[in-house]
């Protein structure tokens, strides 16, 4: 970076409604930041005490509700929601199939909408509600879509399955499960290499036609 500006941390034009961020701002003076940062960042900061320090400032607080449980984390801005779920929260039901938004294995619900968690920076879901495959069943009682996937054998290896199920639930909620054709189109963001597509369509149709609440 070229501009010689005193480091302010990741606080420019802060969204003041967010109290966790406001608290964070209070802390992120240069000194406290150094105290909180691993050694490598301190080394870098010592050489060029300017905005470069902000660039190596490593972590930011992230609060999100995952499967009904509040999570307070400290994450690098570059960490994706997918990697945070799998590596930090040990919620490995959400799968990494391509890491580039090209397969749908990482599909989760953010505030009720299905998205690819591999292209979602964790820091950008601050304050949001995340539902993963682990949050779909009510205790021992499986979600109707999970039951239907078992009944219609909507998988073989099972690896794309969590993403398929999260997508399938959303497909019905969105109102895109009104025909086989429509289901196929609206389930096309989830690749299944074992080729369980017809079974997946059958499972979704059964849940849709059964009128069960999804």
Partner 1 sequence: MKKAIDSIMPSSSAGMSRIDGRLKVTGAAKYSAEYTPAGLTYGVLVGSTITKGSITSIDTKAAGQAPGVLAVITHLNAPKVPGDQPEGGKPVPPKGAFKVFYDDKIYYNGQPIALVIADTFERALFGASLVKAQYHTDKHITNLPDNRSNGFPPRGEGTYKRGTEDAWKAAPFKVEQEYIVPTVTHNPMELHAIIANWDADNKLSVWDKTQGVKGTQEDLAHLFKLPVENVQVHSQFVGGAFGSALRTWPHEVAAIIGAKVVKKPVKLVLSRADMFTSVGYRPFTWQKIAIGATADGKLTGITHEAAGQTSSYENFTEGPTGVSQNLYACPNVNTKYHLVALDIATPTWMRGPGEATGSFALESALDELSYSLKLDPVELRLRNYAEKDPESGKPFSSKFLNEAYQLGADHIGWSERKQEPASVKKDGWLVGYGMAGGMFGAYRSGATIRAKMNTDGSLLLQSAVSDIGPGTGTAMVLIASEQMGIPAEKIRFEMGDSSLPNAPTQGGSATTASVGSAVYQACADLKEKFQKLIGNGGTDKPDYAKVLKEHNLPSLEVVTETGGGNGMEKYAMNSWSVHFVKVLVNPATGVVKIDKVACVADSGHIISPKTARSQVVGGAIGGIGMALMEESIIDHRYGRYINNNFADYHVPVNADIPQIDALFVNKPDPIINPMGAKGMAEIALIGMAAAVANAVYNASGKRVRDLPITPDKVMA
Partner 2 sequence: MKQFQYVRPATQQGVLDVINKPGTKIIAGGTNLVDLMKRGVTAPDKLVDINQLPLKTIAATKTGLHIGALALNSVVSENAVVADKHPLLAMALKAGASPQLRNMATVGGNMMQRTRCGYFYDVTMPCNKRAPGTGCGAIEGINRMHAIFGASPQCIAVHPSDMCVALAALDATVIVAGKKGERRLPFTEFHRLPGDHPELDNHLAKDELITGVEIPDNNFAKNSYYLKIRDRQSYAFALVSVAAALDIENGTIKDARLAMGGVAHKPWRLFDAEKSLIGKKATEENFEHAAQLAMRGAKGYGNNSFKLKLAPATIAEALKHAAGLV
Residue numbers at the binding site for partner 1 (CB under 8 A): 38, 40-41, 56, 58, 76, 78-79, 83, 86-87, 90-100, 102-103, 105, 132-134, 136-137, 142, 146, 149-162, 165, 180, 183-185, 187-203, 206
User: What residues between 158 and 177 interact with partner 2 by CB under 8 A?
Assistant: 167, 170-171, 174, 176
Phi and psi, residue 87, nearest 5°: -95, -30
Task: Select the span of 26-34, 52-60, 131-139, 154-162 touching partner 2 (CB under 8 A).
Answer: 52-60
From the list partner 2, partner 1, none, partner contacted by residue 94 (C-beta under 5 to 8 A by kind) = partner 1
Measured distance CA(156)–CA(138) in Å, rounded: 24
Map residues 84-103 to x or -, x wherever contact with partner 2 holds by CB under 8 A.
Answer: ---------------xxx--
Q: Which is nearer to partner 1, 9 or 97 (CB)?
A: 97
At which residue do the structure tokens 């009904």 appear? Answer: 68
Nearest distance, CB of residue 75 and partner 1, angstroms: 9
From the list partner 1, partner 2, none, partner contacted by residue 93 (C-beta under 5 to 8 A by kind) = partner 1
From the list partner 2, partner 1, none, partner contacted by residue 95 (C-beta under 5 to 8 A by kind) = partner 1
Choice from 107, 131, 164, 205 touching partner 2 (CB under 8 A): 107
Q: Which long-range contacts (CB under 8 A, 24 or more apart) does 91-97 make?
A: 91/66, 91/67, 91/132, 91/134, 93/132, 93/133, 93/134, 93/162, 94/132, 94/133, 94/162, 94/163, 95/159, 95/160, 95/162, 95/163, 97/159, 97/160, 97/163, 97/191
Q: Which is nearer to partner 2, 69 or 182 (CB)?
A: 182
Nearest distance, CB of residue 213 and partner 1, angstroms: 18
Nearest distance, CB of residue 211 and partner 2, angstroms: 22
Measured distance CA(113)–CA(105) in Å, rounded: 15
> Which of 190, 131, 102, 96 has its CA nearest to residue 204?
190
């Amino acid at each position: 970076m070229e501009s010689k500006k005193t480091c302010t941390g990741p606080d420019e034009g802060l969204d003041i409604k967010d109290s966790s961020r406001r608290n964070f701002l209070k802390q992120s003076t240069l000194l406290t930041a150094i105290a909180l940062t691993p050694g490598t960042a301190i080394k870098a900061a010592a050489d060029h005490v300017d905005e470069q320090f902000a660039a190596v400032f490593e972590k930011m607080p992230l609060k999100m509700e995952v499967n009904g449980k509040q999570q307070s984390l400290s994450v690098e801005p570059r960490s994706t929601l997918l990697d945070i779920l799998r590596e930090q929260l040990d919620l490995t039901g959400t799968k990494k199939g391509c890491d580039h938004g090209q397969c749908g294995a990482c599909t989760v619900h953010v505030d009720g909408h299905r998205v690819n968690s591999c292209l979602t920076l964790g820091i950008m879901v601050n304050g949001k509600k995340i539902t993963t495959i682990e949050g779909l069943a009510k205790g021992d009682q499986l979600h109707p879509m999970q039951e239907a996937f078992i009944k219609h054998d909507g998988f073989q290896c099972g690896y794309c399955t969590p993403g398929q199920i999260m997508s399938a639930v959303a497909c019905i909620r969105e109102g895109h499960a009104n025909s086989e054709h429509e289901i196929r189109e609206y389930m096309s963001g989830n690749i299944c290499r074992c080729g369980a597509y017809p079974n997946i369509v059958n499972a979704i149709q059964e849940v849709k036609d059964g009128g069960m609440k999804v």
